Amino acid sequence: MRVAVVGATGMVGREMIRVLEERDFPVDELVPLASERSRGENVTFKNKSIPVEVLSADSFAGVQVALFSAGGSVSLKFAPQAVKKGCVVVDNSSAWRMEEGVPLVVPEVNPEDVERHRGIIANPNCSTIQMVVALKPLQDRYGIKRVVVSTYQSVSGWGKEAVEQLWNETMEIAKKAKQEGVDHWRKLHADVYRVDVGNRVLPYQIAFNVLPHIDVFKENYYSKEEMKMVQETRKIMGLPDLPLTATTVRVPVFRGHAEAVNIELRKDFCLEEVKTLLQNFPGIKIMDEVSRNIYPFPLMADGRNEVFVGRIRRDESLPCSLNLWIVSDNLRKGAALNAVQIAELLLAKKLL
């Protein structure tokens, strides 16, 4: 089949092409699409170099499925045009996620929702995806009363320019260190590691720093990312009133998001049963043996497909409550893999 990837030169788009190849999705022809800036570039798919085409309304003729990952405005404009041409769109941006009639799907959690699609299926936010995969088996067994989440999100979640910012700042700090010598470091003062590389896409320096700011702030003082976690979780899990509160934080990590999640359940639980439920749920891998320093972290999750769960422990301050540490590669399960899994689901249900 003819498969288009919109945003094929971006962090997520490139990963989508890798995942399509790895999972042997039945692609007869890959159509990589990007902006005017990528004219003359190529992508590699199954050892073949394929020229990137500039996205236009005509790009979707004969395309059966299009994986969009080029930002909200591109999706708003071009997804309906692709649908008009008979194409099914799996959209990674936030443009359509909360739209009535657009399913928001994590295949392990709400696969049945794809059946209600009218051309566009939305892929949730990266931090939401990895959390709901772990919440689902707990909701099914005990019921969830309330969730409190704090995230530690990598710069690749904000696209290639944020990755460049962290890289450039780190290199600049290393250059400064080399020039100044080792004694400079002993001062351990911000002058040593404060740099200005210009062209910043994050509001402040991210190297050697942590920012409680992802996306824009809303009238209620929460960030848009925090509100996405609340609203998207409710929609995916079919729990419109689920009490959930989030603090989303950018950390100087290139790839992989981590989350500290506190969950109040409706019934009491046995910790061993919780571990078994999580371990048996598709897509989850438990890494939880603190006596041997075994727990997940972004560096070990890099390039992996699983949602890793560790530090599983009772919240001793509240009955029926639990703490989890959840880590996943935001470009894989948080974006590209989930989108390809949605396409696979459509295929399995003969909806393509």
Ligand X SMILES: NC(=O)c1ccc[n+]([C@@H]2O[C@H](COP(=O)([O-])OP(=O)(O)OC[C@H]3O[C@@H](n4cnc5c(N)ncnc54)[C@H](OP(=O)(O)O)[C@@H]3O)[C@@H](O)[C@H]2O)c1
Which span (10-18, 180-188, 245-253, 311-319) binds ligand X, by CB under 6 A?
10-18
Strand partners, 247: 150
> Exposed/middle/buried for 8, CB within 10 Å: 0-12, 13-18, 19+?
buried
Nearer residue to ligand X within complex by CB, 117 or 255: 255
* Residue 256 makes contact with ligand X by CB under 6 A: no
Three-state DSSP state, 269: coil
> Is residue 126 annotated as a catalytic residue, yes or no?
yes
Specify the amino acid at residue 332. Answer: R
* Residue 335 makes contact with ligand X by CB under 6 A: yes
Among 207, 334, 341, 342, which residue sits at the site for ligand X (rule: CB under 6 A)? 334
Q: What is the rounded distance in angstroms from the CA atom of residue 191 to the CA atom of residue 252?
A: 18
Q: How far is the CB of 171 from ligand X (least distance, A)?
A: 19
* Residue 11 makes contact with ligand X by CB under 6 A: yes
Which span (151-159, 199-207, 223-231, 315-323) binds ligand X, by CB under 6 A?
151-159
**Positions in 19-38 near ligand X (CB under 6 A):** 34-35, 37-38
> Is residue 257 annotated as a catalytic residue, yes or no?
yes
Specify the amino acid at residue 80. Answer: P
Q: What is the rounded distance in angstroms from the CA atom of residue 97 to the CA atom of residue 120?
A: 10
User: Which residue from 308, 338, 267 is spatially nearest to 109, judged by alpha carbons?
Assistant: 338
* Residue 227 makes contact with ligand X by CB under 6 A: no
Cα dist from 197 to 78, 158, 168, 170, 194, whole Å: 35, 18, 7, 10, 10
Q: What is the rounded distance in angstroms from the CA atom of residue 122 to the CA atom of residue 226?
A: 18
Chain position whose Cβ is nearest to ligand X: 10
Nearer residue to ligand X within complex by CB, 92 or 139: 92
Three-state DSSP state, 172: helix
Per CB under 6 A, residues contacting ligand X are 7-13, 34-35, 37-38, 55, 69-72, 74, 92-93, 126, 156-157, 159-160, 330-331, 334-335
Instruction: Report, as residue numbers or ranges, the catalytic residues.
Output: 126, 257
